[in-house]
Amino acid sequence: MNIHSQRATMETAVSEKKSSTDDKRARLLDAALDLFELRGFDGVAVPEIAAKAGVATGTVYRYFASKEALVNALYRYWKGIYNAFVLAPVSDRLSVRGKFSAYWQRMMVFARTYPRAVRFMDLHHHGAYLDDESRALSRTYAEVALAFVTEARTAGVIRPLEPTLVVALMWGAATGLVKFASQGALAFDAATAATMEDALWRAITNDPS
């Protein structure tokens, strides 16, 4: 599946998920994404979210018991989409290098398509207000990373790195590209994504030649 078809598949899944959600709830989630991504959890008040969504403040509490419940629902919404798309199993026929490329390309498709969601997840990943259900979604990333790194180290393809370091490198690079692109510091295009992929691979492989 090429990058264009990957993006189409992901956008279709997101569209279907939105269409199955109550309109006011969907508008509240969209408004919360805009505000939480820009100003953080503590910098946003519930009436502001309601106003941006075009509903009364009381309507927010018909769908979410509190601001904490709202930010958790939003985090689970986007993290669930991210996990389903980026962390889906890759073909066992791929080499270790091929699997690394597959995961990275999926990350890039997601990041280029939904940069606000990437910035939101990065900003709120360690929030004290996230509940156990939200935090459990982050463990999926750790499990996929562990499986990949274990395979790669067993094959002698990468240096003896901890899976968390590989996650930090890849996620940090992806969010960095999103942030610099939003500031106009670089063009976040396919060429930039490919250049970063090569740099990341050289950072972890035993054979950077």
Asked if residue 79 has pLDDT above 80, the reply is yes
Q: Which range marks the domain in which residue 150 is found?
A: 3-204
- Which CATH number characterizes residue 76's domain? 1.10.357.10
Residue 55 and residue 23 in contact, taking contact as beta carbons nearer than 8 Å: no
In a domain, 209, yes or no: no
What is d(CA 52, CA 31) in angstroms, rounded to the nearest whole number?
6
pTM for the whole thing? 0.88
What is d(CA 121, CA 209) in angstroms, rounded to the nearest whole number?
34
In a domain, 68, yes or no: yes
What is d(CA 75, CA 134) in angstroms, rounded to the nearest whole number?
7
What is d(CA 74, CA 30) in angstroms, rounded to the nearest whole number?
9
Instruction: Give the chain's domain count.
Output: 1
Structure tokens belonging to residue 186: 């670089």
In a domain, 183, yes or no: yes
In a domain, 113, yes or no: yes
Beta-ladder partners of 205:
158
Digit-coded pLDDT (tens) for 107-137? 999 999 999 999 999 999 888 999 999 999 9
Digit-coded pLDDT (tens) for 150-162? 999 999 999 999 9
Q: Which residues, including other chains, have CB under 8 Å from residue 38's CB and lie 6 or more apart?
A: none
